[in-house]
Every structure is written in structure tokens, then in C-alpha cells.
């Protein structure tokens, strides 16, 4: 399954220009606070600038943004809200 991140909040400037982000979801993970985290592989590595050095991020951990929602095939974002959706 592939996830498309269509917007980002509170992000460094270089992240805004890389949206939409496409993530190949690899495995569902259980965390200490919830049971719906996913480990994913970036379809195209993210560029991140930290301490004046560019880094590439190839893997991420993601979860649905709003409580009571989930990452699943063909899920649409709730009306009047931004964030993760397939």
C-alpha cells in the first residue's frame, strides 16, 4: 500500500517544496500509546537540511493524524482538515 502526504505542518522550508510525499507502507507497528503506526519507505528520499548539511531520509514512521481515523486503502481526509490521506 502507498500513502500520499499532501500537506505538512510546522515543517522546515525544504520539506514544503517536496510535497506530495509518497511512502510505501511496509509494516504495521504497535507503539506504547497506539497500535496503528506504520514503518514506511520513501518512494523518493526526503531532503532535510540540519546543521547546514543536507541529509536524505529513506524510511519514516507514520500514523493517522486524528484520533479515531486510520491509514487504509482509499481513505479520504476528513472535511475541512489537512494532513495524511491515501
- Model pLDDT, residue 76: 64
pLDDT of 10 > 90? The answer is no
The pTM assigned to this predicted structure is 0.77
Average pLDDT, the chain: 85
Q: SS in 3 state form for 3-14?
A: EEECCCCCCCHH
Cα distance between residue 78 and residue 20, in whole Å: 18
- Model pLDDT, residue 78: 57
- Model pLDDT, residue 84: 43
Dump pLDDT digits (tens) for 37-57.
Answer: 999 999 999 999 989 999 999
- Would you kindly state where each structural domain of the chain is located, as residue ranges? 2-68
Contact, 65 vs 55, CB < 8 A? no
pLDDT of 58 > 90? The answer is yes
Amino acid at each position: 500500500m502507498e500513502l500520499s502526504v499532501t500537506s505538512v505542518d510546522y515543517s522546515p522550508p525544504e520539506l514544503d517544496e517536496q510535497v506530495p510525499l509518497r511512502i510505501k507502507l511496509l509494516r504495521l507497528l504497535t507503539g506504547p500509546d497506539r497500535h496503528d503506526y506504520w514503518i514506511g519507505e520513501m518512494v523518493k528520499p526526503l531532503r532535510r537540511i540540519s546543521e547546514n548539511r543536507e541529509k536524505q531520509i529513506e524510511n519514516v514512521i507514520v500514523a493517522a493524524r486524528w484520533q479515531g481515523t486510520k491509514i487504509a486503502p482509499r481513505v479520504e481526509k476528513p472535511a475541512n482538515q489537512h494532513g495524511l490521506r491515501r
